[in-house]
Amino acid sequence: MDIREENRKRWNQQVENQNEWTIPISAEAIEKARRGELQLLLTPTKPVPHDWYPPLKDAKILCLASGGGQQGPALAAAGADVTVFDNSPLQLQQDEFVARRENLRIKTIEGDMRDLSIFQNESFDLIFHPCSNTFVPDVRPVWKEAFRTLKREGTLLAGISNPVTYLFDPALEKQGIHQLRFAAPYSDLTSLSAEEREKYYPDEPLSFGHTLEDQIGGQIDAGFHIIGFFEDDWHGRYAIDKYLKTFIATRALKSSFGTI
């Protein structure tokens, strides 16, 4: 199976279904962003702290696997030079829609988050990468490419899905029962049968529960210095929220002494 092609189709369908991560940002939120009042999400509910951002005026920013007309337009409204890179053309169309509506300049590029060869070394001041690497089977190339394309002292802001949330039996989970069934790392392709995948997650993008060693250790191994960290959840949307935080956000810097 071509996972990238399959998830392109599935994310296009999510746009048609009006998934919450595909709904364009409001005009009111754009006006706030123009005033410097950013309320952007790397994880479901907790906004990124303001002191995590570098100066945004004229900053070159890559919104990595971050289409949907939300983060990219807000950063552009704050004065940044924004490129949105995403696997789904319909997600990118959402960013283009907001750019036209709000008279913003945004560049959109369709591609695989693991392959940023279209960009030269040290192209960006900031990479904004929400919880989207769960849709690729191998996450370490994402960190390596992010490191390569960031400038010295550049910032990577990343959202991460807690791998524990992938390990429960989906049939029992729908009943509010959390019974461990799968080992980490999790894969929709190998942990579930095709029949189970269609039964429990119809039309949803193929997902992969990466280990923390690959998610956080992978950033460190790529050369990043992690200097910020917080946890988040869905605020009770799922039963598991009563027991643990299901998402993580990291702020990482590319040292001025880093190597490519």
Is 16 domain-assigned? Answer: yes
Is 227 domain-assigned? Answer: yes
Q: At 101, is the secondary structure helix, strand, or coil?
A: helix
Which candidate, 46, 86, 85, places its Cα nearest to that of 229?
Answer: 46
Is 99 domain-assigned? Answer: yes
Helical H runs in 22-107?
27-34, 71-77, 89-102
Is 201 domain-assigned? Answer: no
We report the CATH number of the domain holding residue 103 as: 3.40.50.150
Is 216 domain-assigned? Answer: yes
* Domain count within the chain: 1
User: Residue written as tokens 């990043």?
Assistant: 224
Is 178 domain-assigned? Answer: no
- Residue 260 has a pLDDT of 47
Q: Which helix (H) or strand (E) element contains residue 10?
A: helix 3-16
Is 185 domain-assigned? Answer: no
- Residue 230 has a pLDDT of 98
Retrieve residue 67's tokens.
């289409």
Per-state percent for the chain, helix, strand, coil, to nearest 5: 35, 25, 40
- Residue 55's domain spans which residues? 3-162+207-254
pLDDT (tens digit, 0 to 9) for every residue of the chain, 260 residues total? 899 999 999 999 999 999 999 999 999 999 999 999 999 999 999 999 999 999 999 999 999 999 999 999 999 999 999 999 999 999 999 999 999 999 999 999 999 999 999 999 999 999 999 999 999 999 999 999 999 999 999 999 999 999 999 999 999 988 888 999 999 999 999 999 999 999 999 989 999 999 999 999 999 999 999 999 999 999 888 888 888 999 999 999 998 765 54
- Residue 257 has a pLDDT of 61
Is 18 domain-assigned? Answer: yes
- Residue 60 has a pLDDT of 98
Retrieve residue 91's tokens.
């997600």
Q: Show the CA angle centred on residue 145, arms to residues 251 and 125, nearest 5°.
A: 50
- Residue 122 has a pLDDT of 97
